[in-house]
């Protein structure tokens, strides 16, 4: 006989909440309320967080055993955040008299805490036990609280001037309540607009103020009407757990407007190139704030308050370039940062080159000497970051030095990533299929190469949990230039690798090609 599907997930901190959680599990099971507790639910040898997420996706309720340890626990926070994002009801239970309510998120301070007493052996005698059980047997009516922002990278360096200016626009003077405003981060590609927007989303004060959720949509330069509808549907799914069945884009946008009403939500609209693409995401949501990132100020709506994001300050650039390199050779690093225009993307590339040389036995001074010689050889001279042609040339020279650290076959595999669309999280399974066709790499070799490209900052993002990668627009354009003569042939090899007589025979679970088949067919 199979175990019943759990209805309740018990979240607690092992440091001080385990006896309470164990006792609660036992008495709820006796009440015929199926519960999931990590001590009984986790299977050895498998990813623990994946198992936690699978359990949370099954249940209707999370019971939060609140102790001082739970308030400090990153794992407990991950659990309740994931639950709220998926529309699971979160019921806090007081399990200690030493709770610090002032340090709790606003939604939690405002929530009712069930009082079952503090004695794990007498929970059923708690003043609210009967009410607690009745509610757990009822229906969960919780709005989803999405958090769609990407993870903040490990090499993030704070930029307090721009950061504080944006936060000041999004929050009231006391920095407690959200302001329904449209603001923007503008500047050239690779200067850190998207990274700064991600940092804003991960700020605790922002999350508490926009306690109905944070939405994220990336548009890009070449958005088709179907792409635009997909982006709208992604937001609808994040807000209600299913996509709209609206028959037209216009009616889907109306559904999104309805879901945004009376909710304190921050919506980040990333990489906007055209005003017409932006329009659907500016509608509705009178209490919502919009944060736009763009290279083109003329796409912004009237009244939008824009902040320019250009070169990093000298100290910020030095911090980024020197990550993981220790405290030596500060002047040499400072000179290299200035040579790179304090441009965030180029600084990350250079940092990766330096760390690679040091890992091979060079001193930091030797690595700096190598980097400067290499940039000389590749033609990196003084450049104006505001000049598009200078930007392209500087990026190309810096990327060439990074790619010089790879062998010829790996450089070819990198350039083949140019076939994938911009601003798309590409499944590693699609990359593996491509490289198996072009370079006879198996899945293990493909993942190793992806990790190596990521080590050299040639990928904007590599997520081994979700098994996806993404290229930065600037890097993708360089790859396209390098692979232009073979692009159509590589698209065709990629399509042929699927080995189907008719595209209708693609497996329904294919994670990539159903959405991007037309793109690759046209390019081939």
DSSP 125-189: GSTTHHHHHHHHHS--------B-PPPPPTT----HHHHHHHHHHHB-TTS-SB---EEEEE--T
pLDDT in tens, 33-90: 999 999 999 998 888 999 999 999 999 999 999 999 999 999 999 999 999 999 999 9
Region 227-237: mean pLDDT is 93
- Specify the higher pLDDT residue, 332 or 423: 332
pLDDT at 153: 84
pLDDT in tens, 377-388: 999 988 877 788
Distance in angstroms (rounded) separating the CA atoms of residues 464 and 213:
25
Q: Which of 243, 244, 177 is nearest to 205 (CA)?
A: 177
Contacts of 11 (CB under 8 A, 6+ apart): 62, 63, 64, 65, 70, 76, 79, 80, 83
Distance in angstroms (rounded) separating the CA atoms of residues 491 and 486:
9
pTM of the predicted protein model? 0.82
Q: How confident is the model at residue 1 (pLDDT cuts 50, 70, 90)?
A: very low
Distance in angstroms (rounded) separating the CA atoms of residues 168 and 230:
32
Q: Three-class SS of residue 286?
A: coil
pLDDT at 46: 87
Domains of the chain: 8-137 (3.40.50.10140), 160-308 (3.40.50.300), 314-403 (no CATH), 408-523 (1.10.10.10)
Q: Which of 169, 192, 188 is nearest to 180 (CA)?
A: 169
User: Could you give the angle at the alpha carbon of 463 between the alpha carbons of 457 and 466, nearest 5°?
Assistant: 165
Tokens of 189: 């590609």
Tokens of 114: 């069930």
Query: At which residue do the structure tokens 């929530």 appear?
Result: 111
pLDDT at 442: 95
pLDDT in tens, 463-521: 998 899 999 999 999 999 999 999 999 999 999 999 999 999 999 999 899 999 999 99
Return mean pLDDT, the chain: 92
Statement: residue 448 has pLDDT above 90: yes
pLDDT at 246: 84
pLDDT at 189: 81
pLDDT at 387: 80
pLDDT in tens, 159-216: 999 999 999 999 987 766 788 889 999 988 888 899 999 999 999 899 989 989 999 9
pLDDT at 173: 74
Tokens of 148: 């769609």
Helices and strands (DSSP H and E) totals, the chain: 24, 13
Distance in angstroms (rounded) separating the CA atoms of residues 160 and 339:
23
Pairing of strands 468-470, 289-294: unpaired
- Specify the higher pLDDT residue, 1 or 408: 408
Strand residues in 67-139 grouped as ranges (E) = 89-94, 114-115
Judge contact between 90 and 113, C-beta under 8 A: no
């Amino acid at each position: 006989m199979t175990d019943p599907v759990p209805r309740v997930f018990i979240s607690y901190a092992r440091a001080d909440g385990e006896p309470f959680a164990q006792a609660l599990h036992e008495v709820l099971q006796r009440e015929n309320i199926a519960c999931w507790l990590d001590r009984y639910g986790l299977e050895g040898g498998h990813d623990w967080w994946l198992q936690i997420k699978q359990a949370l996706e099954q249940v209707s309720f999370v019971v939060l055993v609140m102790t001082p340890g739970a308030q400090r626990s990153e794992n407990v926070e991950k659990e309740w955040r994931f639950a709220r994002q998926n529309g699971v009801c979160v019921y806090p239970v007081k399990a200690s008299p030493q709770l610090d309510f002032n340090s709790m998120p606003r939604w939690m301070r405002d929530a009712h805490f069930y009082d079952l007493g503090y004695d794990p052996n007498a929970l059923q005698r708690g003043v609210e036990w009967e009410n607690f059980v009745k509610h757990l047997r009822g229906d969960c009516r919780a709005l989803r609280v999405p958090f769609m922002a990407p993870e903040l990278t490990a090499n993030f360096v704070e930029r307090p001037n721009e950061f504080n200016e944006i936060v000041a626009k999004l929050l009231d003077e006391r920095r407690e309540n959200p302001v329904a405003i449209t603001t923007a981060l503008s500047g050239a590609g690779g200067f850190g607009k998207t990274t700064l927007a991600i940092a804003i989303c991960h700020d605790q004060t922002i999350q508490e103020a926009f306690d109905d959720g944070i939405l994220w949509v990336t548009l890009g330069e070449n958005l088709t009407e179907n792409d635009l509808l997909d982006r709208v549907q992604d937001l609808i799914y994040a807000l209600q757990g299913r996509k709209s069945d609206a028959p037209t884009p216009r009616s889907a946008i109306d559904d999104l407007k309805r879901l945004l009403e009376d909710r304190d939500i921050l919506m980040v609209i990333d990489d906007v190139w055209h005003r017409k693409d932006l329009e659907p995401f500016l509608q509705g949501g009178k209490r919502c704030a919009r944060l736009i990132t763009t290279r083109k100020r003329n796409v912004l709506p009237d009244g939008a308050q824009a902040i320019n994001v250009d070169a990093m300050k000298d100290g910020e650039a030095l911090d980024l370039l020197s990550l993981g390199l220790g405290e030596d050779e500060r002047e040499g690093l400072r000179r290299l940062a200035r040579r790179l225009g304090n441009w965030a993307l180029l600084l990350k590339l250079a940092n990766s080159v330096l760390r690679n040389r040091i890992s091979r036995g060079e001193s930091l001074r030797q690595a700096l000497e190598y980097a400067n010689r290499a940039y000389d050889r590749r033609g990196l001279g003084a450049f104006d970051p505001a000049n598009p042609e200078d930007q392209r040339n500087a990026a190309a020279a810096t990327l060439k030095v990074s790619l010089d650290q790879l062998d010829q076959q790996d450089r070819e595999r990198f350039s083949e990533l140019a076939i994938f669309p911009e601003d798309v999280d590409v499944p590693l399974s699609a990359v593996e299929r491509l490289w198996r066709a072009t370079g006879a790499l198996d899945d293990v070799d493909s993942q190793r190469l992806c990790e190596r490209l990521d080590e050299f900052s040639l990928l904007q993002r590599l997520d081994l949990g979700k098994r996806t990668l993404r290229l930065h627009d600037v890097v993708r354009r360089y790859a396209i230039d390098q692979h232009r003569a073979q692009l159509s042939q590589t698209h065709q090899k990629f399509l042929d690798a699927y080995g189907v007589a008719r595209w209708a025979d693609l497996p329904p679970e294919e994670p990539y090609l159903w959405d991007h088949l037309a793109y690759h067919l046209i390019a081939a």
